[in-house]
Amino acid sequence: MEDLIFVLIGAVVIFALGWTRSRYADFLAQSPADYAGADTLFDVRTHLNGPIICEGVIYGPMGRVSSRFVGEFQCHWDGDSGTMDEVFHYDDGTQQDRCWHLTVEPDGAITATADDVVGTATGQQSGSSVQLKYRFQLPKSSGGHVLDTVDWMYLAPNGTIVNRSQFRKYGIKVAELVATMRPAPQELKEAA
């Protein structure tokens, strides 16, 4: 009986340490306020405008690369409202299309919708970063699960955007995405 008590106490301590780490010292612990003092300001209306090229990888739950992709985006803004048409080409030959409808408020708050987003995504521009949170529904071919998603985009000094996203189910990380986004080369701009 005494051994069982020690096992239960150990389990509670491990859970508490994990929760504390994720709450205060992990990817999810970041706040837009952490980036408010940056010299370079990331404004999605400027930095996500026109043709964009994206390259990235998706890591599975064990940290191994499960997919690689290249994306082509067309972003258009009319004042504070914009659309971002995305076409992703994956290493397995599949293609995925998504169209985001975005709105930026005067305080930098962002709302966005897309067909595979459940409800409305919410986020915030702050300094050299943008945070976006939403619920994302996987395609039926991938199980159709709804995942809680946190995107962080960081503006690099050369204008490239580095995107890191985590996808969670019941609070457990099931995938992570790392990608770069940058203006398309001139020949792609002319073709658009």
- H/E element, 173: strand 172-183
pLDDT digits (tens, 9 = 90+) for 51-68: 999 999 999 999 999 999
Task: Write down the pTM of the prediction.
Answer: 0.81
**Do 17 and 65 have their domain in common?**
no
Whether the per-residue pLDDT at 24 is higher than 70: the answer is no
**Do 146 and 63 have their domain in common?**
yes
User: What is the domain extent for residue 8?
Assistant: 1-30
Q: How many domains does the chain have?
A: 2
- Give residue for tokens 């995938």: 175
**Do 25 and 55 have their domain in common?**
no
**Do 71 and 153 have their domain in common?**
yes
**Do 127 and 48 have their domain in common?**
yes
Helix (H, G, I), strand (E, B) or coil at 78: strand
**Do 103 and 114 have their domain in common?**
yes
**Do 6 and 95 have their domain in common?**
no
Beta bridge partners of 77: 82
d(CA 71, CA 100): 14
**Do 2 and 51 have their domain in common?**
no
Amino acid at 63: G
Q: For residue 16, what pLDDT band results from cuts at 50, 70 and 90? A: low
Whether the per-residue pLDDT at 188 is higher than 60: the answer is no
| CB proximity list for 87: less than 8 A, separation 6 or greater | 71, 72, 73, 95, 96, 97
pLDDT digits (tens, 9 = 90+) for 101-122: 999 999 999 999 999 999 999 9
**Do 4 and 78 have their domain in common?**
no
The reported pLDDT for the residue numbered 156 is 92
**Do 40 and 78 have their domain in common?**
yes
**Do 108 and 165 have their domain in common?**
yes
Domain of residue 157, CATH code? 2.40.128.20
Q: Give the angle 175-158-131 at the CA atoms, nearest 5°.
A: 40
Q: If you ran DSSP here, which 8-state letter would residue 144 be given? A: -
**Do 75 and 25 have their domain in common?**
no
Whether the per-residue pLDDT at 175 is higher than 60: the answer is yes
